[in-house]
Homo-oligomer: A and B are copies of this chain.
Amino acid sequence: MTPATVDSPGRPTLEEVARLAGVSRATVSRVINASPKVSPEVQAVVEAAIAELNYVPNRAARSLVARATMSIALVVPEDAHRFFGDPYFADIVQGISDRLDDSDYVLNLQLTHPSSPSEKTRRYLLGGNVDGALVVSHHSGDHFLASIGQSLPVVFGGRPMGAAGTPGRPTDYYVDVDNRLGAVQGTRHLIASGRRAIGTITGPRDMPAALDREQGWRDALLEAGLSDERVAHGDFTEEGGAAAAEELLDRHRDLDAIFVASDLMASGALGILAGRGRSVPADVAVVGYDNSRYATRGPIQLTTVAQPTRQMGIAMADTLLRLLAGEQPQHVQLLPTELILRDSA
């Protein structure tokens, strides 16, 4: 005795609607799918029957024959805390969600472990549960996700990495910003305002975005003839940012500026700086990255590199939808970054 069958007559089928309306199943199907070749009268009768029975088409059956599920997966290789803790994801999801609201597709969230999606995720993605997938926050260790694009339409948020740090394959689709350039913008600003001992707090080394930002910081420094030795690695969390700031301050007493690869980490760094009595920006200037709400939340308004995160989500969803519609969207879409000047630098 399952609850579903205890007292319910079961959801009505197309067949029952057909019987009630006195037509064939094919006709009911045509009405449901808004086929043009149905006479108005018949259509009205069928619609009445549908309403009376409160009929809703069975998706499984439809999927089976249509070979489409009308749903797409959002694959997030992060634990729930990092996913929820970073406003970056909130914006991405909001964008995706907004774009999908205008379509017939629904979103399925798949939280999976950072560097080894479970067998379950694999089966889910490959088992025909979804027509396509959106992958955010891709880590390099993940071979399955790196190659998933070959079996399913996939759009990455951020440049995907191939195995062993190789650049993504040219057949991949992704939406990104020019992380290197964004970092260059932020770092140049620090240089222009007279800073000379400029450090950086990076993101995890297995993520392309983190690597690119570090490279941008380095490039800007080198082009100005400055040293790029002041590096500490974070993990895109507030705690990680704080720890990296401690490390940087301990190792480089002369530090007068930090380019931090995310606002969240910058927020952690600001806490450490305050704790050590180093004033911002007088003693140490700080530039963040993301322009998330963490940038404007604390006592010190953060100068930061803005990226159009929500737009990225929209673009990702849009690209996948195009792919599913059989169109040929661009493989790479780079959105612009912009330096937002506030108080910290």
Contact = CB atoms under 8 A, between A and B. Distances in A.
Contacts of A80: 90-91, 93-94, 97
A284 B54 CA distance: 56
Nearest to A129: B59
B90 A85 contact: yes
Which residue of A1, A54, A56, A271 has the most chain B CB atoms within 10 A of its CB atom?
A56
A172 to B, nearest CB: 14
A159 B81 CA distance: 25
A84 interface: yes
A106 B84 contact: no
Contacts of A110: 106-107
A263 B80 CA distance: 19
A81 B90 contact: yes
Nearest to A238: B297
A11 interface: yes
A5 to B, nearest CB: 9
Contacts of A91: 80
A83 B93 CA distance: 11
A293 B54 CA distance: 45
Given A84-B84, A109-B109, A69 B79 contact: no
A188 to B, nearest CB: 31
A111 B97 contact: yes
Given A106-B120, A111-B97, A153-B3, A127 B59 contact: yes
A128 B58 CA distance: 6
Interface in A89-114: 89-91, 93-94, 97, 101, 106-111
Interface string A39-61: 00000000000000010111111
A94 B81 contact: yes
Given A56-B123, A111-B97, A127-B56, A87 B84 contact: yes
Nearest to A65: B60
A326 B58 CA distance: 22
Which 6 A-B pairs have CB atoms at the shortest separation, nearest pair first?
A84-B90, A60-B63, A80-B94, A109-B109, A2-B326, A60-B64
